[in-house]
Chain A
């Protein structure tokens, strides 16, 4: 895979922009293309395929915040996992909450992994490097069509 397409879903624009910028700067191969959504409903609609996307590959990895307005991370997971087109999509939760209820429900609804959102820049940089190193450079990701 030459280019890994990542979707970042986070209603905090500063957090989303930072993660997107750091991912974009990770050394390849593969390169990373990031799209940011501030809302899980919009991210889901995009993944389910705007007409222009039909037949093309959808994103390879989703980084999902947990506490979102309109549709929470857990609701997004439930929707994605019950949709045959999105059932195999790797979804990693990146949340500031590590409340046991939030963690356990994310895994129960099919999150691939759960990460605590770091509080400072150095930790965020280290975590994004690790996400890139494990998911983009080490894991084989599914190539799903819309």
Chain B
């Protein structure tokens, strides 16, 4: 089994079932961050990816960007799975949804989402949102030690 390079920059992991959203966010994020995000297609894929992080087979993400309405396992179920597991709880997860409804926003923060972004249709607004997300989470936030959290039982 190949072990990941622990010194490599930690990526954004982006979970979204919409192929067109994955494509546009990938393109914009590559411009903003200099590296493409790791994309997964639904909640189950994301949890499988995080299991590989726990097993030491993948690099931990710096941030997870999470769509809410996905088949197989929704964003809400993912939030519960991550934030109720002490090994995963410190991992920053920012919700990325077309819904700007007050109830959805509150429901996500109550489930310990670290932030909530509304998907912009306008590309320039989306790019600006991703730039600020990058500046905040990748350049300024002191990240949690996921290796340490992941090794707690």
**Binary contact track A112-130/B, C-beta < 8 Å → 1, others 0:** 1111100000000001001
Contact of B142 among A89, A112, A116, A140 (CB under 8 A): A116
Interface residues on B, range: 20 to 34
In whole Å, how far is A133's beta carbon from the nearest beta carbon of chain B?
5
Q: Judge whether A42 is part of the interface by a CB distance below 8 angstroms.
A: no
Q: Which of A6-14, A20-28, A97-105 contacts B (4 or more CB under 8 A)?
A: A97-105
Q: Judge whether A137 is part of the interface by a CB distance below 8 angstroms.
A: yes
Q: Judge whether B132 is part of the interface by a CB distance below 8 angstroms.
A: yes
Chain B residues, CB < 8 A from A127:
140
Chain A residues, CB < 8 A from B128:
138
Asked if residues B105 and A138 are in contact (CB atoms below 8 Å), the reply is no
Asked if residues A140 and B141 are in contact (CB atoms below 8 Å), the reply is no
Number of interface residues of A (CB under 8 A): 30
In the bound assembly, the distance between CA atoms of A144 and B142 in angstroms comes to: 27
Q: Judge whether A36 is part of the interface by a CB distance below 8 angstroms.
A: no
Q: Judge whether B80 is part of the interface by a CB distance below 8 angstroms.
A: no
Chain A residues, CB < 8 A from B92:
113
Q: Judge whether A30 is part of the interface by a CB distance below 8 angstroms.
A: no
Q: Chain A: residues with CB nearer than 8 A to chain B?
A: 87-90, 98, 100, 103-104, 107-108, 110, 112-116, 127, 130-131, 133-135, 137-144
| 11 extra interface residue pairs, beta carbon distance < 8 Å, beyond A100-B145, A139-B115, A139-B116 | A90-B115, A113-B114, A114-B141, A115-B141, A130-B136, A135-B115, A138-B117, A140-B118, A141-B105, A142-B102, A143-B106
